[in-house]
Structure 1
Amino acid sequence: MGVAIRTAGEEDRELIVRLLDEAFQDDPVSGWVFPGLEDRRAKHPGLMAAFTDIVLAAGRIDVTEDGSACALWLSMPADEGHDDHDAEDEGPAQVREAVDPDNERIETIGRLTAAVHPTGRAHEYLWMIGVAPGRQGEGLGTALIEAVLERCDREGLPAYLEASSARSRELYERLGFEPAGPVLDLPDGPAMWPLWREPRPHRPA
């Protein structure tokens, strides 16, 4: 049975924020950004809201019709970042200021992931994908990703992401992603895996 997917709009903002918050509360990277449980419960939704607003404005959010899973995508042009260093440098600081000015790790993770992000070729960037905790393991995340990867294959576009857990890394590797450089070890924290997928030859139906 297929998974019905639609593009989220501004009216879906609260749904997306709540979904991402629930999906990533216990993620290793979220635990590193907000080490204290009470602090994470209080401030993590604000970080997910900041990410949601960025992608609603500049990218695309796909969501399953039942609201149980979503994927945040940005279309990155070739050589992104080389001609606009000021905007790139300000982004992580602006997110930190909006979410939790005293939390340096919010800015740190933004700068570290930006530093390893490939440039030179246009590609689709999977920023985040979240599945409701009670619906994980049903193939919803795979369906969301494959819908975009099929378009990437048709258009000859690569795709890129950073896996935040060993489990998610295995899923992405099954979908054709491969290491895109050294593992990113967060200071005194978990690892993140930059992964790249070359487009596959498209076979018309």
Structure 2
Amino acid sequence: MIENDSAVRLATPDDLPAIADTLAAAFHDYPWMRWTVAADGHTNRVRCLQLYFTERIGLPYGRVWVAESPGAPDGIAAVAVWTTPATRVPAELFTAPELDAYYGDRAAHAVAAEQAVAPYRPSAPSWFLATIGVRPEHQGRGLGAAVLRPGLAEADAEGSAAYLETADERNVRFYAHHGFEVTGEADVPDGGPHAWCMTRRPAPTG
């Protein structure tokens, strides 16, 4: 059940600092980030990456939902960032020079990790859950599910599949509860994390 006094809404550019802070906190110890982002200044690097992808990709080319909670800094406790089949993200946004600076000495590992999961990504247009995170002190209160559901509802309304990747086995069970199935698995090279690629078929509407 979602915690009391919480509300989910579409994000605006004014939310970007709080979104970046929320996702940086949520992904502080996430295996994928620990493998692909340099250790020095790690939290700030993760914050910069999450800000970049939300500001440059999620807001203009997809959907970003936030869950508000009065107990969270700046009021935001959870975030979900999607890209959608309706828009095409310019390829150059994924290779911008500042990204290498954010990844630091792990930039090559970040490229290798992306290449490891790329074969399992859907060829048909799909809703892509780029990132979802809940502030650690607000986890276990239903906010992850609450901020996930609007994207799934829109995908269903369009008759579109949804896709995501996770490097935490605990997340596999969470996403399975919401209709996702594992459609591929990959080991990131050189001792990197294991990744699960998951797809959700559109649910009947009406």
TM-score (norm 2): 0.82
Distance, in Å, in 2 between the alignment partners of 1:6 and 1:51 is 19
Check the 8 A contact 1:50/1:95 in 2, yes or no: no
Corresponding residue for residue 80 of structure 2: 71
Of 119, 122, 135, 2:123 maps to 119
CA distance in 2 between counterparts of 1:115 and 1:48 reads 24
8 Å contact kept, 2:36–2:103: no
2:50 pairs with one of 48, 51, 66:
48
Q: How far is the alpha carbon of 1:114 from its aligned partner?
A: 3.8
Q: 1:109 aligns with which of 98, 109, 113?
A: 113
CA contact (8 A) 2:37 2:104 kept: no
The answer for the alignment partner of 2:151 in structure 1 is 148
* In structure 1, distance between residues paired with 2:149 and 2:67: 13
TM-score, normalising length from structure 1? 0.83
Please, which runs of 5 or more residues in structure 2 have no aligned partner?
70-75
- C-alpha separation in 1, matches of 2:63 and 2:161: 17
After TM superposition, give the deviation of residue 92 of structure 1 in Å: 3.9
Deviates more, 1:45-54 or 1:10-19: 45-54
Deviations 1:40-77 (A, max 9, x none): 13422222222222212221110012210010010035
Structure 1 residues 116 and 77: CA distance shift in structure 2, 3 A: farther
Number of positions where the alignment pairs a residue of Structure 1 with one of Structure 2: 194
- Give the match's secondary structure for 1:180: strand
Structure 2 distance, partners of 1:158, 1:126, is 11
Cα deviations across residues 7-59 of structure 1 (Å, max 9, x unaligned)? 111111101100000000111111111363x4413422222222222212221
Range 124-133 or range 107-116, more displaced: 107-116
Determine the structure 2 residue equivalent to 1:166. 169
Percent identical residues: 32
CA offset at residue 124 of structure 1?
1.0
What is the CA–CA distance in structure 2 between the aligned matches of 1:166 and 1:47, rounded to whole Å?
Answer: 23
Q: What does the per-residue CA deviation read over 1:144-186, in whole Å, with 9 as the maximum and x for residues that have no partner?
A: 11222223223311111002201111100111101122x1211
Determine if contact 2:84/2:128 at 8 Å carries over to the other structure. Answer: yes
Distance 1:64 1:173, change over 3 A: same
